[in-house]
């Protein structure tokens, strides 16, 4: 239901104007009133074409200049048809209250239609009632609908728009519980929610599962690590020296074939690399034996460096009254 067709847009904006909106200017200029009239006419055309999304945007722009009961009514009308029933109901109720406080003829025309619209929308709003286990008092629970706070009643019931929603239930001492629901207009749904208590550390609790804290490495283990690393490095150096000795030998053969004075000085280089390779491998073997011995040796701090046990106790839950 819309305003009677005999009320033109300019009349609804000008005759019913009064500073009812916090963002509306208290004394708009003639140019601003003219702009508001054009925006209202544009919004009205969108509304006639049932393009409620664009109509709502244009009506809200109009309201930034001059909010009236009539403009608020149209905002609520668009919200209703976009499925935003909660916003529509609030704006219908506010338009009704503002129209009763206004003395303008246009405001009185709002009263002729707003009562029925508010009653119709309020009857279509879905309701969800939470049944919590364990039961908690109202002040212990917070409910978010799509990350926005819900108006939770003492009965555990709250309103929401029809459609898909993500619901989060938050209670002190419990892990947040999330639900996904799809709800239709006029639906009254009861949802059972089991709250899981958050575990708390209680070292004094007995006969409870324990967690182990790993002690720091002892000196024996540190020596084993160093020996292992040294053996690896020495073995790698030995391999590199052996490869270089082979390369020097091949180079020496080539040089010796063309030498007129002899090859003894060339052989010295090969012998040096061979000696380095042999020494590195002997060192690697020695470090390897040492590392093996240290790894197999019992930890010297076994008697004093035992794992520390920390008891983990489940948090106690105080069950209050049911909603």
Host H or E run for residue 69: helix 69-81
pTM of the full structure: 0.56
CATH number of 127-198: 2.60.40.1120
The edge-to-edge listing of strands for the beta sheet with 157-159 is 157-159, 127-133, 188-194
Q: What is the pLDDT of residue 17?
A: 45
* Residue among 49, 43, 90, 98 nearest 70 (CA): 98
Q: Can you read off the two tokens belonging to residue 140?
A: 């212990």
The contacts found for 96-105 with CB under 8 angstroms, 24 or more apart, are 96/69, 98/20, 98/68, 98/69, 98/72, 99/69, 102/16, 102/18, 102/69, 104/15, 104/16, 104/17, 104/18, 105/15, 105/16
Who contacts 4 (Cβ-Cβ below 8 Å, separation ≥6)? Answer: 109
pLDDT in the model for residue 281: 64
The confidence score (pLDDT) of residue 317 equals 32
Task: Flag residues of the chain having pLDDT under 50.
Answer: 1, 3-25, 201-205, 210-213, 215, 260-261, 302-323
Question: Helix, strand, or coil here: 251?
Answer: helix
The residues that bridge with 314 in the sheet, in sequence order, are 199
Domain-wise residue ranges, the chain: 9-124, 127-198, 219-306
Q: What is the pLDDT of residue 226?
A: 79
C-beta of residue 66 within 8 angstroms of C-beta of residue 13: yes
**What's the pLDDT tens digit per position in 225-235?**
777 777 788 67
| 9-124: CATH superfamily | Tetratricopeptide repeat domain (1.25.40.10)
CB burial of residue 298 (10 Å; 0-12, 13-18, 19+)? exposed
CA dihedral 73, 3, 49, 9 (to 10 degrees): -90
Cβ atoms of 168 and 144 within 8 Å: the answer is: yes
Tell me the β-bridge partners of 199. 314
Q: Give the pLDDT of residue 21.
A: 41
Residue 229 CA to its chain's centroid (Å): 45
| SS3 readout for 148-204 | EECCCCCCCEEECCCEEEEEEEEECCECCEEEEEEECCCCEEEEEEECCECEEECCC
User: What's the confidence (pLDDT) of residue 53?
Assistant: 97
User: What does the pLDDT read at residue 270?
Assistant: 63
The answer for residues whose C-beta is within 8 angstroms of residue 304's C-beta and 6 or more apart is none
pLDDT given at position 288: 73
Per-residue pLDDT reduced to its tens digit, 113-168: 999 999 999 999 999 999 999 988 888 899 999 999 999 998 999 999 999 999 99
């Amino acid at each position: 239901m819309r305003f009677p067709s005999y009320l033109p847009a300019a009349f609804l904006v000008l005759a019913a104007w009064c500073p009812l909106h916090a963002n509306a200017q208290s004394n708009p200029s003639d140019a601003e009133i003219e702009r508001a009239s054009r925006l209202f006419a544009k919004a009205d055309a969108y509304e006639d074409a049932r393009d409620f999304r664009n109509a709502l945007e244009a009506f809200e722009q109009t309201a930034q200049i001059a909010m009236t009961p009539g403009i608020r009514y149209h905002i609520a009308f668009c919200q209703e048809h976009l499925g935003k029933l909660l916003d529509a109901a609030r704006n219908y109720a506010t338009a009704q209250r503002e129209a009763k406080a206004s003395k303008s003829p246009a405001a009185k025309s709002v009263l002729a239609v707003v009562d029925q619209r508010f009653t119709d929308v309020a009857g279509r709003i879905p309701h969800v009632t939470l049944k919590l286990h364990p039961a908690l008092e109202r002040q212990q629970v917070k409910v978010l609908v799509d990350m926005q706070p819900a108006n939770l009643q003492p009965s555990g019931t709250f309103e929401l728009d029809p459609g898909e929603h993500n619901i989060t239930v938050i209670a002190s001492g419990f892990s947040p519980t999330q639900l996904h629901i799809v709800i239709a207009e006029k639906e009254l749904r009861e949802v059972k929610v089991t709250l899981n208590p958050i575990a708390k550390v209680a070292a004094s609790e007995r006969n409870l599962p324990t967690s182990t804290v790993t002690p720091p490495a002892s000196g024996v283990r540190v020596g084993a690590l160093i020996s292992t690393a040294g053996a690896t490095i020495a073995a790698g150096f030995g391999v590199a020296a052996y490869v270089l000795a082979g390369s020097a030998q091949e180079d020496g053969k080539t040089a010796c074939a063309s030498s007129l004075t002899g090859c003894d000085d060339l052989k010295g280089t090969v012998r040096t690399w061979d000696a380095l390779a042999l020494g590195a491998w002997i060192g690697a073997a020695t470090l390897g034996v040492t590392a093996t011995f240290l790894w197999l040796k019992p930890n010297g701090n076994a008697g004093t460096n035992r794992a520390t046990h920390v008891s983990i106790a489940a948090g106690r839950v105080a069950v209050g009254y049911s909603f």
